[in-house]
């Protein structure tokens, strides 16, 4: 699993580089599978991107990353937030988990072309979508998490999957190599507990593989916005 974790840190322009240098140094010292930090769309919004690691290690990495950001923000007396919806008029913050699957020989099992898709990828998508409504309390544990789905852009619209479609709960990034695909799970808010999110994802993948669960048809356009209604019913 790889991951992308968004947050808001209210930094003045001259504080940005020193702040993230300190966080980056702490993550390197902790031997975290860290790739880069990017400025995101929101004012004072940033995204930390982590290279693939074992699921148990990724859960630790994400928890440590939150700690390092909050600790450095406290040290220099600035506000930092991993709330899924920090400001009503600003983009929300998510926790996106990137999942790929290998066999015991280290061979990728997620394959897809325009015409075909491997059973491992198909059944993983099926299991994840079949259990998603039940797992929403894990992915969206707070009112801010649920408010995230009111954003006009870059958030899932329903329990669906699609290729390079950010309106879907499950996105297949547009990798050029059809033999090395991955699933981007886009449902969790940044305030979700990483270990619980990862455990729920793994559970549904295993169920899908064992039960050979077929997914719905691929979404090609913008899905209808039904997630917030499902959340309201299950709250």
Whether the predicted model's global pTM rises above the 0.75 cut: yes
Give the tens place of pLDDT for each residue, 219-229. 887 766 555 44
pLDDT at position 47, please? 96
Distance CA 182, CA 157 (A): 20
Give the tens place of pLDDT for each residue, 79-91. 999 999 988 889 9
Distance CA 204, CA 226 (A): 21
Please count the other Cβ atoms lying within 10 Å of the Cβ belonging to residue 130.
Answer: 18
pLDDT at position 224, please? 61
pLDDT at position 154, please? 85
Distance CA 73, CA 208 (A): 41
What φ, ψ does residue 34 adopt, rounded to 5°? Answer: -105, 135
Please count the other Cβ atoms lying within 10 Å of the Cβ belonging to residue 61.
Answer: 24
pLDDT beneath 70: ranges in the chain: 223-235
What stretches of the chain adopt beta strand conformation (E)? 2-9, 34-39, 45-50, 80-81, 94-99, 158-163, 168-172, 183-189
Sequence-distant (≥ 6) Cβ neighbours of residue 15 within 8 angstroms: 76, 78
Domains of the chain, each with CATH number or no CATH: 1-82 (3.30.590.10), 97-235 (3.30.590.10)
pLDDT at position 226, please? 52
């Amino acid at each position: 699993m790889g991951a992308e974790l968004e947050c808001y840190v209210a930094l003045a322009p001259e504080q940005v580089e020193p702040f993230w240098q300190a966080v980056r140094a702490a993550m390197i010292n902790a031997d975290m599978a860290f790739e880069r930090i990017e400025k995101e769309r929101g004012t004072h919004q940033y995204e930390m991107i982590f290279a693939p690691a074992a699921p148990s290690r990724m859960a630790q990495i994400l928890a440590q990353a939150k700690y390092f950001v909050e600790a450095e923000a406290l040290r220099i007396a600035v506000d930092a937030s991993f709330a899924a919806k920090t400001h009503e008029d600003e983009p929300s913050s998510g926790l996106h988990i990137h999942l790929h699957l290998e066999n015991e020989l280290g061979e990728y099992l997620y394959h897809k072309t325009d015409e075909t898709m491997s059973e491992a990828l198909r059944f993983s998508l099926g299991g994840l979508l079949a259990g998603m409504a039940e797992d929403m309390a894990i992915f969206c544990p707070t009112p801010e998490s649920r408010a995230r789905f009111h954003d006009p852009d870059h958030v899932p619209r329903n329990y669906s999957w699609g290729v390079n479609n950010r309106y879907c709960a499950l996105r297949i990034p547009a990798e050029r190599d059809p033999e090395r695909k991955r699933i981007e799970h886009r449902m969790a808010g940044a305030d979700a507990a990483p270990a619980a999110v990862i455990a729920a994802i793994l559970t549904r993948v295993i169920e899908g593989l064992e039960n050979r669960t077929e997914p719905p048809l691929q979404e090609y356009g913008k899905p209808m916005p039904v997630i917030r209604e499902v959340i309201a019913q299950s709250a």
